Amino acid sequence: MIKLCVALAFLGFNFYTYHYLATDPVFPDREHFEDFPDRLENWSCAERETMDDTVLANLGVSDYLLCNFKNPDFSGIVGVYVGYHASQIREEGGGPGGNPIHPPAHCLPGSGWDIIDNRLVELDLPGLPQSPAMVRRLVIARGDYRQLVYYWYQSRGRVVSQDWQKILYVGFDRAVRNRTDGALVRFTVPILLKDEAAAEAGFYELAPQILARLPAYVPE
């Protein structure tokens, strides 16, 4: 009975928030990822990747950066994806459908990847809105192939790693700030020759250079 009352109260709060508060959504000014630099010191993105209309419609993303960055001093690559949603409320039209941000940990198994390690870790890097911050660290596998994945939600000046926290902050910020914009920030590094430490080093070298430039594209 208590759980039912809590669920009904939560639904009532959402109804009140969405229909009586923040009725005029705010879309902050920002730069577009087409202008994001392709060269960051020794790292370079030779060619941007694009997603087709079906994928974009499913993600509901408004703007995105998707590229593999390479460094002559690093044997592998570091894949970078930042997907920005101008709104996470469908009726506000933040993207094709205005969908909420999809959690990678839910999507990866559907893409054929097994998650063999999934943990929350503390990340202390320059450029994060909050540092240190808790982020999600995965090791994923497809056959003998392994990849290291770091990801978090970077939304309205916060770094959020838990899906339930993301949902609560969307509701709260819509009520008090008229904003539901946010982004998924994800780094993917192949683990070559089972050398997980080398993959970590690649992430830690590139990530600060990406993060230092993100506030212009993911407003705080």
pLDDT for the residue 140: 96
pLDDT for the residue 18: 52
pLDDT for the residue 89: 81
Q: What is the pLDDT of residues 54-104, one digit of tens each?
A: 888 888 899 999 999 999 999 899 999 999 999 888 665 545 445 788 888
Read off the pLDDT of each residue in 9-17 and give the average, rounded to a whole number: 49
Read off the pLDDT of each residue in 197-203 and give the average, rounded to a whole number: 96
Q: What is the pLDDT of residues 121-164, one digit of tens each?
A: 999 999 999 889 999 999 999 999 999 999 999 988 899 999 89
pLDDT over 50 (residue 9): no
CA distance 203 to 11: 40
pLDDT for the residue 144: 93
CA distance 81 to 67: 7
Mean pLDDT over each residue of the chain, to the nearest integer: 86
Could you tell me the residue range of the domain that residue 111 belongs to? Answer: 2-216
Angle between helices 163-177 and 2-20 (to 10 degrees): 40
pLDDT for the residue 33: 97
Structurally, the chain folds into a number of domains equal to 1
What residue has token string 């990849």?
147
* Whether 124 contacts 72, CB under 8 Å: no
